[in-house]
Amino acid sequence: MFTGLIQGVGHLRGSEQQDGGLRMQVDAGTLPFDGVELGESIAVNGVCLTVVEFDAASFAVDVSSETLRLTTLGNLKTGAVLNLERAMRPSDRFGGHVVSGHVDGMGKVLQAGATDGEQVWRFAAPRDVHRYIAKKGSICVDGVSLTVNEVDDEGFAVMLIPHTISHTAFSATKVGDAVNLEVDLIARYVERMLGAHQ
């Protein structure tokens, strides 16, 4: 499990095709990396991946063909800026919301930057993801836990504070970019429970 509070920003060192999927080499950048272990889970742009190799400053993960199909990872270029978060420990503070690292779909940045002095960012969301998004609810965008400020027919809007922009890959994100979206787990379970009683 993750919280959606980005612990560091890294870069994609490179990737290579492997057994129908992809092996990605990730520069850990500012991610606190002490005590990393093989088999550990690290969220890369909101996608839960398993460390299969590592050294003092980088790690490798294998990405399945299914994950490549459902997320933005397969379209990343060498040097791409990445949001990184290590899996939470039971003793950690819980500052974001419950994030599984299982992406529900891909969205697109419609607006990025200041409007009337405020950082309002708008995202398009696919219909099967859109139905779970609620005003003042939580959503995870490229691994970042955010509060939804508005919902419209196309997607949703959030307000980003300068700290979030400067400490995440949002500093390199622009209009038109694809993003990974994970809806609040509670919304999915509520729908499942309600459906079971119909």
Q: Residue 189: which CATH number? A: 2.40.30.20
Q: Degrees (nearest 5) of the Cα angle 95, 93, 52?
A: 95
pLDDT recorded at residue 132: 92
pLDDT recorded at residue 197: 54
Domain-ending residue, one of 86, 115, 141: 86
pTM for the whole structure: 0.91
pLDDT recorded at residue 109: 98
Residues 138 and 66 both lie in one domain: no
Q: Based on C-alpha coordinates, what's the Rg of the chain?
A: 17
* Residue 138 within a domain: yes
pLDDT recorded at residue 176: 97
Residues 72 and 22 both lie in one domain: yes
* Residue 99 within a domain: no
Residues 31 and 111 both lie in one domain: no
pLDDT recorded at residue 85: 97
Helix (H, G, I), strand (E, B) or coil at 153: coil
- Determine the Cα–Cα distance for residues 57 and 26; give it in Å rounded to an integer: 9
What is the phi/psi pair of residue 114, to 5°? -80, 135
pLDDT recorded at residue 94: 64
- Determine the Cα–Cα distance for residues 195 and 95; give it in Å rounded to an integer: 31
Residues 151 and 110 both lie in one domain: yes
pLDDT recorded at residue 1: 86
* Residue 3 within a domain: no
Residues 109 and 181 both lie in one domain: yes
Q: Identify the segments of the chain with pLDDT beneath 50.
A: none
Q: What is the DSSP-derived secondary structure letter of residue 88?
A: P
Q: Which domain holds residue 173?
A: 105-196
Residues 114 and 188 both lie in one domain: yes
Asked if residue 60 lies in contact with residue 51, where contact means CB atoms within 8 angstroms, the answer is: yes
pLDDT recorded at residue 93: 67
